[in-house]
Amino acid sequence: MVSDPVNPEAEGRKKLSNKERMKIPRHPMPEQDPLARAQNFLEVPLGYTPQMAVEEAERCIQCKNPKCMEGCPVNVKIPQFIFHVALGNFELAAQKLKETNALPAVCGRVCPQEEQCEAVCTIGGKVEPVAIGRLERFVADWERASGKVSLPTLPPSTGKKIAVIGAGPAGLTCAGDLAKLGHSVTIFEALHKPGGVLVYGIPEFRLPKQIVDAEVDYLKKIGVRIECDFVVGMTRTIDELMSEDGFDAVFIGTGAGLPYFMGIPGENLNGVYSANEFLTRVNLMKGFEFPNHSDTPVPMAKHVAVIGGGNTAMDAARTALRLPWTEKAYIVYRRSHVEMPARKEEIHHGEQEGIEFLLLTNPTRFLGANGWLNGMECQKMELGEPDASGRRKPVPIAGSEFTLEVEAAIVATGNGSNPLINKTTPGLASNKYGNIIADETGKTSREGVWAGGDIVIGAATVIKAMGAGKKAAAAIHDYVMSKK
Amino acid sequence: MYPILEKNDLAAKVYRYVIEAPAVVKKARAGQFVILRLCEDGERIPITLADWDIARGTITLYVQAVGKTTTMMSMMKAGDSLLDVVGPFGIPSHVEKGKTFVAVGGGFGIAAIHPIVRAHKQIGNKTISIIGSRSKELLIMEDEMRAISDEVRIATDDGSYGTKGFVTTILQSMLEKKEPMDVVLAIGPVVMMKAVSDLTKPYGVQTLVSLNPIMMDGTGMCGACRVIVGDKMKFACVDGPEFDGHMVDFPLLTARQKMYSPQEKISMEIFNKICQAQEHRETAAW
């Protein structure tokens, strides 16, 4: 463990007053040019240079009561890692980050920092908050590029076997923490590649897959076994894992993999896709390289509408626009700009790249000829009284129907929980939405079985799933160590 | 990696593969399928299990070479390996004692009915298998089907073997003669499954069909395999693959199977060109 700085000022950091620190402007993130990047799948933000990182790190006033840490679902020791960055000790910064965060290169890219650590940054009240996410990304990238990825010293083996179901953010985090405690951990993954939503959902231009691969490699290096092509519920049940295969505890991190459709006419026409199908084809199956370097076909449509206003909708629209044959991509969302659940940064990037936003617009019918989609009937909406979610409820405007000409429509209106595990695990309690019922540590109604991430709370964020995986790992550790 | 232990060239681009897949075998049941991927750039394709051997840890698949992936697979040999084999997927066939079970298999659909007929036979049900092909030399698995069926009836389009006509010709005469049957299962091309379902409906005979829509993950995650059964949306991978043939929207299934036809054509053309160039090079080198 890297020692925490006792007195930051005394340990060689630049002597600046808090006022002076706050005068340093927040470093913008260098990005690929919007028009160029709309034609490629390379990452959009380019990352800080070491100089930018050091300068940005100097903006942190090293609060005695760092609120940023409380704002982080995995409680990254933010002031401490930033302190090391300010001194140029990137290796120490990386070690500090990894004490609590198994996937910093991922979090630095996809976490909604503006709602978490950066939202509560002390200087954020007066000036722009410290760019914590960008610094996290910088440190993780620096470590990977340097080849100096340090492996923790592992304690002696406890002899306990733990099964983790699903190699997504929750499962990878849980597995990493348990391996570091000396347990023998096996992750079972249904797809042919580990990463879960990080590989099938989030596109390459937002999270390059080599970063996920590197994080997975790190887990393998600390002893985590990963069995792909293994569908728990079908290939093996949880009961079999525990009673026949000798696993002492199980963590379920299977995510929210059940696409919702809209129940409107025409949605089974060829050309209407779930966001899961579209994104999996392009991301996991590399369909953007069809037909030369991938055998998985993707929709070849000139005009694409994506229905929804969340991050998945943004990912789908921006992905569609990057396909060489797509000329126009629309976001069709029934509420207004402010209600969109997507991150502001994603919306902004989409706007820059040329996505057309049809807000206060709701599809009512998919239109087609000979089984193929050729348009979408929409109606305009206005906002009424707030509904159960606290957001103003969209109300249709009579007579406002119009037709949008599209050959592909991608439904990104959310995901339910996948029932495969629930159906095959007797006694595992779930709620009416099919989410597994778990307490704050992830403990379920079944002895020795924990769950966390989207399968418990419904579709949410990568970092929340990681937080759940972390809490469950601690509880599983206590459980298996107290068991005789 | 999943090694191919045996490969046989049967008929009309239909091949039999025995593949080592020990994890799949442990849980394999009649009516289920696997998803496989040949190589790193490969697509995921679902194939119904034709047989499995618990002792050897192998599964047996029959694959017809029609698109790029299945054609590539037809070029693989015993000793080569598939990159991924995952499963078993789908709800196993419901097998209940005391039924007369009629299975209808067309073309390489015969492979898919094989384990289901066997499961019925094993619990003591009377099993009648109606199998068919375009002509005698294209008929597969006749011996295997005879071994597990109380009766095997054969139809060929050209009359070169068994009854001249389709499998439905035989089924129709059985229905007309009021031969006893409790459950009919049809697996094969969509037109055949629809024809069987249309035929049995007026007689009120329970009819099951095993659907084969486009599929990707097999776990209910992508919704590509959605079908309409009795006005309800179902995912064939997790809710099926077997459904009540009298309730299935077959025209929709036919349309959805063509979802990627233009892309499949492009893929196949490029592949053929590569193969031709390869052949040309080999000939030149010779």
Each residue of A264-303: pLDDT tens digit? 999 999 999 999 999 999 999 999 988 889 999 998 999 9
Is ipTM > 0.90 here? yes
pLDDT at position A450 over 90: yes
pLDDT of residue A3: 52
Residues in A lying within 8 Å of B, measured between beta carbons:
190-192, 228-231, 234-236, 257-259, 261, 268, 270, 273-274, 276-277, 280-281, 285-286, 289-298, 300, 371, 418-420
Residue with tokens 């000022």: A9
pLDDT at position B184 over 70: yes
pLDDT of residue A10: 47
What are the angstrom distances between the C-alpha of B39 and each of A106, A294, A296, A461?
Answer: 27, 10, 12, 32
pLDDT of residue A256: 85
pLDDT of residue B125: 96
* Residue in A276, A281, A291 closest to B267 by CB: A291
Mean pLDDT across the stretch B156-176?
95
Pairing of strands A184-188, A161-165: parallel
pLDDT of residue B5: 97
Query: Where does the pLDDT of residue B181 fall: very low under 50, low under 70, confident under 90, or very high at 90 and above?
Result: very high
Query: Where does the pLDDT of residue B112 fall: very low under 50, low under 70, confident under 90, or very high at 90 and above?
Result: very high
Alpha helices by DSSP H, listed for chain B, are 22-27, 68-74, 109-122, 142-148, 167-176, 190-200, 236-239, 250-257, 261-285
d(Cα A158, Cα A156) in Å, to the nearest integer? 6
Q: In sequence order, what are the residues at sequence separation of 6 or more whose Cβ sits closer than 8 angstroms to the Cβ of residue A127? A: A22, A26
Beta carbons of A297 and B267 less than 8 Å apart: yes
Distance from CA of A2 to the nearest CA of B (A): 40
Asked if B274 is an interface residue toward chain A (Cβ–Cβ < 8 A), one would say no
* pLDDT tens digits for range A90-123: 999 999 998 888 889 998 998 888 889 999 999 9
pLDDT of residue A130: 95
pLDDT of residue B157: 94
pLDDT at position A5 over 80: no
* pLDDT tens digits for range A402-438: 999 999 999 999 888 888 899 999 999 999 888 999 9
Mean pLDDT across the stretch B36-43?
94
Angular region, A261: left φ>0, alpha ψ -120 to 50, beta rest = beta
* pLDDT tens digits for range A213-226: 998 999 999 999 99
When mean pLDDT is compared across A401-405, B3-7, B30-34, B263-267, the lowest value belongs to B263-267
Which of the 8 DSSP states describes residue A440? Answer: T
Average pLDDT across chain B, whole number: 94
pLDDT at position B284 over 70: no
Mean pLDDT across the stretch A455-472?
90
Mean pLDDT across the stretch A306-310?
96
Distance from CA of B71 to the nearest CA of A (A): 12
* Residue in B44, B223, B238 closest to A261 by CB: B223
Distance from CA of A260 to the nearest CA of B (A): 9
Asked if B229 is an interface residue toward chain A (Cβ–Cβ < 8 A), one would say no
pLDDT of residue A98: 87
What are the angstrom distances between the C-alpha of A415 and each of A86, A141, A165, A433, A455?
Answer: 42, 31, 19, 11, 10
Asked if B66 is an interface residue toward chain A (Cβ–Cβ < 8 A), one would say no
A1 vs B83 pLDDT, higher one: B83
Mean pLDDT across the stretch A455-464?
87
d(Cα A172, Cα B233) in Å, to the nearest integer? 33
pLDDT of residue B285: 60
Touching A: B residues 237-256, CB under 8 Å: 238, 252, 255-256
What are the angstrom distances between the C-alpha of A260 and each of A270, B240, B248, B259?
Answer: 17, 18, 21, 20
A292 to chain B: which residues are within 8 Å by CB?
270
pLDDT at position A471 over 50: yes
* pLDDT tens digits for range A114-162: 889 999 999 998 899 999 999 999 999 999 999 877 788 899 999 999 9
d(Cα B231, Cα B253) in Å, to the nearest integer? 13
pLDDT of residue B222: 93
Distance from CA of B37 to the nearest CA of A (A): 9
d(Cα B154, Cα B173) in Å, to the nearest integer? 13
Mean pLDDT across the stretch B95-100?
92
pLDDT at position B274 over 90: no
List phi, psi (to 5°) of A156. Answer: -60, 150
